Amino acid sequence: LQWLRNPGPQHERRTLFGDMVCFLFITPLATISGWLCLRGAVDHLHFSSRLEAVGLIALTVALFTIYLFWTVVSFRYHCRLYNEWRQTNQRVILLTPKSAHVPHNQQSLLGLQPLKRNSKETIV
């Protein structure tokens, strides 16, 4: 989520936003166009020439091939940008142990009173 809010330089932000808009616009457009082409191909098979049906099927295959190619290339590009961003923008949170979880030999160094432990408890 942090990367989506601030993916890096301005051109990367613009590219990410543009690809998201294109994906949201092109996905339904490719789906509807493919469905209409296949429906037309079925109609041409039943009522007229097979050549037009084959042409519509080839158009559908080309449409989905180009759509899938663009989607995969775009996704891989943004994954690469994300991995580069992640390597340079790491957020580290240091969790310090509470006094109950400090080993016995370190408790005296920290000035903590040793706690009585149950025989089944182990310090991890």
Residue 124 has a pLDDT of 47
Residue 116 has a pLDDT of 53
Residue 69 has a pLDDT of 95
Q: Which residues of 40-55 are buried (b: 16+ CB within 10 A; e: fewer)?
A: bbeebeeeeeeeebee
Residue 62 has a pLDDT of 92
User: Is 56 buried (19+), middle (13-18) or exposed (0-12) by CB count in 10 A?
Assistant: buried
* C-alpha span between 91 and 86 (Å, rounded): 9
Residue 72 has a pLDDT of 94
> Domain segments of the chain: what residues?
10-90
Residue 24 has a pLDDT of 92
What are the residue ranges in the chain where pLDDT is below 70? 3-5, 7-8, 99-124
**Which structure tokens are listed for 91?**
């957020």
Residue 73 has a pLDDT of 93
**First and final C-alpha spacing in the chain:** 32
